[in-house]
Amino acid sequence: MINFWQKLPKPFTALAPMENVTDYLFREIIATNLPKPDVLFTEFTNVDSLNSAGVKMALSKLKFSLRQKPIVAQIWGTNPENFFKSAKIIKDLGFDGVDINMGCPVRAVVKTGACSALINNRPLVKEIISATQKGANNLPVSVKTRIGVKEAVTNDWITFLLEQNIDALTIHGRTARQMSDVPANWEEIAKAVEIKNATSPHTVVIGNGDVKSYDQILEYHKKYKVDGVMIGRGIFSNPWVFDKNNSKTHSQQEYKEILLKHLSLLRPDQNYESIKKFFKMYINSFKGASALRFKLMATKNVSEASDLLK
Ligand X SMILES: Cc1cc2nc3c(=O)[nH]c(=O)nc-3n(C[C@H](O)[C@H](O)[C@H](O)COP(=O)(O)O)c2cc1C
Which C-beta is closer to ligand X: that of 118 or that of 231? 231
What backbone phi and psi angles, to 5 degrees, belong to 218? Answer: -65, -40
Q: Quote the CA–CA distance of 39 and 144 in Å, as a whole number.
A: 14
Q: Give the span between the Cα atoms of 22 and 214, in whole angstroms.
A: 19
Residue of 31, 40, 104, 192 marked catalytic: 104
Using the minimum distance from each CB to ligand X, give the nearer residue, 47 or 292. Answer: 47
Q: How far is the CB of 75 from ligand X (least distance, A)?
A: 10
Who contacts 240 (Cβ-Cβ below 8 Å, separation ≥6)?
34, 35, 248, 250
Rounded least distance, CB 140 to ligand X, Å: 16
Phi-psi region of 94 (alpha: psi -120 to 50; beta: other; left: phi over 0): left
Tell me the backbone φ, ψ of residue 25, rounded to 5 degrees. Answer: -65, -45
Q: How far is the CB of 16 from ligand X (least distance, A)?
A: 3
Closer residue to ligand X (CB): 143 or 193 = 143
> CA 50 to CA 252: how far, in whole Å?
41
Question: Does 63 appear as a known binding residue?
Answer: no
Give the C-alpha separation, 46 to 51, whole Å: 9
Is 232 annotated to bind a ligand? Reply is yes
In angstroms, what is the minimal distance from the CB of 201 to ligand X? 24
* Dihedrals phi, psi of 244, to nearest 5 degrees: -70, -20
Please tell me whether 27 is known to bind a ligand: no
Query: Which residue number, 139 or 281, has a Cβ lying nearer to ligand X?
Result: 281
Q: Does 115 participate in catalysis according to the annotation?
A: no
> Using CB under 6 A as the criterion, which residues of the chain lie in contact with ligand X when the complex forms?
16-19, 21, 43-44, 74, 101, 103-104, 144, 172, 208-211, 231-234
How large is the angle between the packed helices 154-162 and 186-199, nearest 10 degrees?
40
Task: Please identify every residue annotated as catalytic.
Answer: 104
Binding residues for FMN: 74, 144, 172, 232-233
